[in-house]
Amino acid sequence: MRKYFFTLSIFLLASFVTCAQGKWSIALHGGAGSASVNMTKEQITVYETELLKSLEIGKEMLKNGSTALDAVEAVVVSLENNPLFNAGKGAVANSEGFHELDAAIMDGSNLKAGAVAGVRDVKNPVKAARLVMDSTAHVLLISEGASAFAKQMGLEIVDNNYFTVDKKVKQQSDKGTVGCVALDVYGNLAAATSTGGMRGKKWGRVGDVPIIGAGTYANNNTVAVSGTGHGELWIRRVVAFDISALMEYKGLSLEEAANKVIFNKISPMGGSGGGVIAVDKNGNISLVFNTSLMHRAWAKSNGEQGADVLKK
């Protein structure tokens, strides 16, 4: 018995040391778009302040030993609850006047993933995506089936008009998605993304966010990626996975891979463009976009931290 407690004590001490010494990184985004809306300094400050609030949630969790998976989910939930962004409350409407939401989450430690698409009544779609990953044998549930599952699992269900907000609350282009990527102190990566999609999209349209490998991807061997932009292009180029593949198969750095995909593959295809946030297995962060703005924030265990809106 004494040997058992000694072994257990050593294990707990080792876990504490690992947690205390392990490095972590986190990045989040609130969409990319055009600065032609002429955002004022006050409006930019509002967005940066809100981004930093969500960043703080993830930072504190990672500092205290939470997993990357739990951290990215919590951050995206906070962004879904913030009416300034196009995800959850504040999501844009489709051509029929309804809000249809998509979300995804992925665990880089085992490549498990969960996603929902076209849900109209789940308050926090990213929570439903997490439950799809953790509580089913599936990856993607859609529409009424996804909503029924979410309700069965006890998630909060709301009227579709819950997602509608006063236009005055929206202070910039509303085409953006929200997302978060993180590396935790245990060396695991995770990514989560959520969106209301394109304004006026055809009823039933699904973008890149819930398509694993397109708008969301995480692999402990390489990188965690969350994208924002013209979803059809992201799907056709399998953007998130392509960044990982370039790193794994060609040995490119995170920054090289992200730049290659966004500027050499997405930009030539036209469309509204967009960007990605990514964290690699070593804690490096990349925030690459080909638009004039991307709402973004980031932090590392070494003290680096920031939030920005416009391209520098």
Of the residues 177, 216, 222, 228, only one is catalytic, namely 177
- Kindly give, in sequence order, each residue whose CB lies less than 8 Å from that of residue 120, ignoring residues fewer than 6 positions away: 98, 99, 100, 101, 143, 147, 160
Angstrom distance (rounded) from CA 103 to CA 84: 17
**In one letter, which amino acid is 161?**
N
Angstrom distance (rounded) from CA 98 to CA 245: 37
Q: Residue 25: which of 177, 191, 178, 176 has the closest Cα?
A: 191
- Strand ranges inside the chain, DSSP E: 25-33, 101-107, 112-119, 140-142, 178-183, 189-195, 216-218, 223-229, 274-280, 285-289, 293-300, 305-310
Residue 177 designated active-site: yes
Just list the catalytic residues: 177
